[in-house]
Amino acid sequence: MASPSSTGKSGEQAACEFLISKGYTIRETNWRLGHLEIDIVAHEPAANRLHIVEVKTRSSIEHFDPMKAINRRKINNLVNAANGYISYYRLPMSVQYDVMIIVGREPHFEIHFFPNAFQPPLRSFR
């Protein structure tokens, strides 16, 4: 039986290969800013858009809905990490947040791609 970390790494590799096949360029994988992490940072040259991709890999979703792991806290962490990435590299491009659900075991993954899965939360200033 594969360990959870090796299943996750295999899933992220499958996600990268999927994105490359769609014309994206992979800029980074597992980019960290303190305790925050972005699974995949990809660039879509045709739209000059940066994609922040959260990848959830499961051997089965029989008793688990991977989309439920994308909660408010996860979204806030991804947005904060993306803001850090954009600031660090001074990138003048739009950003899109995507989610990829990878199900199965290598080499037989089923890939579910949810482009523009969420928008950054609005903040109010008082």
CATH code where residue 59 lies: 3.40.1350
Average pLDDT score, the chain: 89
* Residue 85 forms part of a structural domain: no
Residues 21, 27, 28, CA angle at the centre, nearest 5°? 110
Q: How far apart are CA 48 and CA 92, in angstroms?
A: 9
* Residue 21 forms part of a structural domain: yes
Q: Provide the domain count of the chain.
A: 1
* Structure confidence by residue, pLDDT tens digits, 57-92: 988 777 667 667 789 999 999 999 999 999 999 999
* Residue 82 forms part of a structural domain: no
Q: Is pLDDT above 80 for 19?
A: yes
* Residue 83 forms part of a structural domain: no
Supply the pLDDT for residue 42.
98
* Residue 9 forms part of a structural domain: yes
Strands 108-118 and 49-58 turn out to be unpaired
Q: Which domain holds residue 46?
A: 1-63+97-119
* Residue 40 forms part of a structural domain: yes
Residue, of 4 and 67, whose pLDDT is higher: 67
